[in-house]
Every structure is written in C-alpha cells, then in structure tokens.
Amino acid sequence: MSTSAAKSPVPLYLQLADAFRQRINKGVWHPGQPVPTLEALAAEFNVARVTARQAVQLLTQEGLLSPQRGKGTFVSSKPATDKTVNLRTSLADLAKMYETTKPEILNIEESSRLPPTSASRGMLGDGYVYMRRVHFLDDEPYCVISLYLLQSVFAKAPAEFRNKTVIPTLLRLPDVDMHEAHQTMTIGTADTETAHLLRVPIGSPIAQVERFFKDRNGTLFYYADVAYRGDWVRWEIDLKP
C-alpha cells in the first residue's frame, strides 16, 4: 500500500479489508467469484501475507467471504446493507432526509454543558441542553451525534426534541430565529467508543460533520458533532457550470 497508508493510525489490515469491501460493494468482485490468493493480494497491495490474511479473515467474519477447502476463498454476498444517508447541502433537504428516513433514536446522555466550540461559531447563550444519541435505521446504527441546544429553544418543545430528530423540529417551530446554518464535513476514523456504538471495526472510515445554527444576533442556539458510518454516507453536490 502507499506510504501514507503505512503512516496512517488505522491498521493496515483494516485499510485492506475496506479496499476489499469496496470491491465487493462496487461489483468488482462478484458473489460466487473466487478472490485472488493471499500471495497475489499481498503482492498487489504491497503488504505482508499475514496482513492480507487478517483482512480476508475479517471479511469472512462479516459473511462477505467464504473459504472453501481445496478451492480457495469466494465472495459470499455483497455487504449486508446498501443503505445510504445523503448529506445534503441545504437545510430544507437535510430536514427532509431526516423526516423520510424516520430514524430510531437511542438517547445515551442528557445534561447541561456548553458547546466545545470557538467564538467564531457564534456567541454562547446562557445555558444549553446536551444530548448524546445514536440514530438507527432498521435496527442498524448509522450515526452518533453530540448536540447542544440552547435551553430557551429546548424549552419550546422538550418532548419532541428528546424523541424526534432535532432539525425538523426546529424548522416546525414558528418562533425559532434561524438566521445562519452551516456545516463542515471531514473524513476521519472511528475511535473505540464510536466504533462500538456504530458496530464497526476500530479505525473504520467515518464522516465527521460539525453543524451549527445562529440567530440574527449571532447567538449559537444549535451545535452538533456527528459521526456517520463511512459505508453509509453519500454526499451529492450540484456543480454549477
């Protein structure tokens, strides 16, 4: 693999397993098709044979590959889920995505604390409700979110905010001053806790999204840090000529 891959904190076998998973997902390796030998894979990706074997073993545990004695290793199936979460570039489309997917929500924690963000994101209000939660689709987790909602905004619909997705609820409230909304996405890897909550291997790729909303006075009333499973994310942007 490349020099940058070797320097990555993500173990090589996990990087290799992700490359294999992508080949299966994209149809490069078809169900029923034998995959190259460990020696061939090690040579192609410039890794040790033991690294290739660890990657194959991981995908075997996931049910994507199946070793057959005396014949080799075959593709069993495509990844169990072809689900995607579309990260939208407009607030209305983002809210619509949450409404149409209707995720199940597991609230892990609720407390009072200030958003861990710089002054460039907006002036802080008097108090915030902090909620950490996991969103599920069909009993499978697709994102972990840590969000901070201004106490005065949370008080407008506490039951809805606790039990439903926050952004559609915010847009339904007539007296919420939504003056500015912004989000930034970066690509990272899952730490131990995030990997556990998303049910993915440690070091798996994730899309890390920082999202914040301000009112016309520049007060930050919503701040969220979201980790999406990398294998579920699709980000579509219309390019203007």
The rounded percent of the chain whose pLDDT value lies above 70 is: 87
Tell me which of 50, 75, 100 is where a domain ends: 75
Low-confidence ranges of the chain (pLDDT < 50): 4
Instruction: Mark whether 95 and 32 lie in a shared domain.
Output: no
pLDDT at 82: 52
pLDDT at residue number 24? 86
> Does 241 reside within a domain?
no
pTM exceeds 0.85 for this model: no
Q: Within this chain, do residues 201 and 155 fall inside the same structural domain, yes or no? A: yes
- pLDDT score of 75: 93
The domain boundary, picked from 53, 75, 97, lies at 75
DSSP E strands in 69-159: the ranges are 72-75, 85-87, 104-112, 123-124, 128-137, 140-150
pLDDT of amino acid 56: 93
Chain segment 159-215, per-residue pLDDT in tens: 999 998 899 999 899 889 889 998 888 888 888 899 899 988 777 888 899 999 999
Instruction: Say what the pLDDT of residue 222 is.
Output: 95
Do both 94 and 66 map to the same domain?
Answer: no
Integer Cα distance of 121 and 215 in angstroms: 11
Residues 138 and 227 in one domain: yes
CATH number for the domain that contains residue 8: 1.10.10.10
| pLDDT of the residue at 166 | 92
Q: What is the CATH number of the domain that holds 126?
A: 3.40.1410.10
> Domain range for residue 97?
85-235
Largest CA distance in the chain: 71
In this structure, the dihedral spanned by the alpha carbons of residues 200, 203, 205 and 209, taken in order and rounded to 10 degrees, is 100
Asked whether residue 172 falls in the same domain as residue 96, the answer is: yes
Residues 65 and 154 in one domain: no
